[in-house]
Structure 1
Amino acid sequence: MSPISIVIITLNEEKRIGRLLEDLSKQSHRDFEVIVVDSNSDDNTCLVAQGFEHALPALTVHKMQGRGTSLGRNTGAKLARHERLLFLDADVRLSPTFLTNALHELDSRKLDVAGAYMGAENLSMSYRLGYAAFNTGLFITSFFFPTAVGACLFSTRRVHEEIGGFDESIVLCEDCDYAKRAAQTWRWRMIPVSFWFDPRRLEQDGFLQMGMTYLKANVRRFFKGEMRNNEMEYKFGHYKDAQ
């Protein structure tokens, strides 16, 4: 299996970045590097990440002066040494066989760009039903209007460079825009692997409210194109730890 560069964007994630890095240290596939791109955090995110240098020898922690989801991902892609890329958010959790299973799917199906499904293990029935509906939507739209979850998105350096990376002028659905543009030229599909992420986003924004926000955003994208004028405001890194 091919080596892979894993880009993780962070902003004030000292309580979560260690969990993901520990998951990566336990992967059955070992040929990878990790690039943590921090958006000038106010907490100890970088120090926590640097503490995994022994567990993850191919680890780079890069602190930016600016902030931004797309900016962070694009910065990480520029620092990557390998052709295959994986973009992750800091609050993602992965099983020990995640990379092995994902790379097998990518290689066997000769995919350039791919998305993964959201897992709902240990969550309530309402969350499981919601995730199932969301995952079904990801699968169906992958054939005519690709959408993706930027928290876990596979690409390659060639694809990334040729499509111009993530559009830094888009605040909401920049990951969906990336998948849509990539799929116009390159092989794209959802692959049957799943990741888990902290449900704080849903809990703080409201499960139904967040679902309706993304539904409304993608319907708007389908008929009118991408949102570059902050039509639907979305703040990067606004989620707080539960008290």
Structure 2
Amino acid sequence: MKPLSIVVITLNEEKRIARLLEGLSTQTYQNFEVIVVDSNSDDATCEVAQAYQASIPELTIHKMEKRGVSLGRNIGASLAKNERLLFLDADVCLKPDFIFNALTQLDDKKLEVAGVYMGSKGLPMAHRVGYSLFNFGLFLTQYTFPTAVGACIFSTKRAHKELQGFDEAITLCEDCDYVKRASQTWRFRFLPMTFEFDPRRLDQDGLFKMGATYLKANVRRFFFGEMRSNEMEYKFGHYSEQK
């Protein structure tokens, strides 16, 4: 099993980054590096991450002067020293065997780029229903018009380079564009496993509002192409309430 480079993008995540790094430090498979790319946070995100260097020896922190999801992922990929890449958001929570199981499946299925379904363990019934519907949409579209959850995407340096990375001009659904372009060269699939992440996105935006936003965005993408002129404004890091 080959080594892995994990790119984590952050923006004001001092209250969440520890959970992700703690989960990474206890993975059953440990042959990986972690690159935290911070979008010039106003809080102690970098300091909290720095505290995990003892439990994650190959942990580096890069602080950008500018902010941007795609920019952060692209910088992280450029700093990565391993061929296999995993892009994560800071509010993700992984089971101890997540990396081992994922890398095993990627090798078995010979996938360059792959997505992972969203888990809803312990969440209210409304959230679980919403996640199930969203995952069903991910499952169906992977064969024709792939979409993805940017909080957890596997790739490779080769694929990332040929795709010229995430499109930094796209204002919404840059993750969906990435896997869509990848599927034009390689077979893209979702791995039959899940990751957990903080439900603040649903709590703050509302289940139906958020679902409608992404449905509208992907329908628009299907008919009119990618959004590069802020046609549907959706800001990175706008979840201000910390739980």
TM-score by length of 1: 0.99
What is the Cα-based RMSD across aligned positions, in Å?
A: 0.7
Query: Which 4+ stretches in 1 moved above 3 angstroms?
Result: none
CA distance in 2, matches of 1:117, 1:22: 21
CA distance in 2, matches of 1:242, 1:72: 22
The aligned counterpart of 1:32 is 32
- 1:187-226, Cα deviation, whole Å (9 max, x unpaired): 2100111101100111111111000000000000011110
CA distance in 2, matches of 1:189, 1:110: 10
CA distance in 2, matches of 1:81, 1:193: 26
Q: Give the counterpart letter for 1:34 in structure 2.
A: V
Residues 185-196 of structure 1 aligned to structure 2 (within 5 Å): 185-196=185-196
> Shift of residue 8 of structure 1?
0.1
CA distance in 1, matches of 2:238, 2:10: 12
The aligned counterpart of 1:61 is 61
Residues 35-50 of structure 1 aligned to structure 2 (within 5 Å): 35-50=35-50
The aligned counterpart of 1:148 is 148
CA distance in 2, matches of 1:116, 1:122: 18
CA contact (8 A) 2:5 2:34 kept: yes
The aligned counterpart of 1:235 is 235
- 1:99-132, Cα deviation, whole Å (9 max, x unpaired): 0110111000000000000000001111111111
CA distance in 1, matches of 2:242, 2:79: 33
Residues 28-177 of structure 1 aligned to structure 2 (within 5 Å): 28-177=28-177
How many equivalent residue pairs?
243
> Shift of residue 2 of structure 1?
1.1
CA distance in 1, matches of 2:19, 2:9: 14
> Shift of residue 52 of structure 1?
0.3
Matched, 1:22 2:22: yes
CA contact (8 A) 2:15 2:242 kept: no
- 1:16-58, Cα deviation, whole Å (9 max, x unpaired): 0011000000000110000000000010000000000000000
**Structure 2 portions without partners, runs of 5+:** none
CA distance in 2, matches of 1:203, 1:196: 15
- 1:73-123, Cα deviation, whole Å (9 max, x unpaired): 000000000000000000000000000110111000000000000000001
Q: Secondary structure at the match of 1:22?
A: helix
CA distance in 1, matches of 2:3, 2:97: 15
Q: Secondary structure at the match of 2:73?
A: helix
Q: Give the counterpart letter for 2:174 in structure 1.
A: E
CA distance in 2, matches of 1:194, 1:216: 24
TM-score by length of 2: 0.99
CA distance in 2, matches of 1:227, 1:171: 6
The aligned counterpart of 1:219 is 219
CA distance in 2, matches of 1:174, 1:118: 18
CA contact (8 A) 2:37 2:76 kept: yes
Q: Give the counterpart letter for 2:8 in structure 1.
A: I
Q: Secondary structure at the match of 2:154?
A: strand
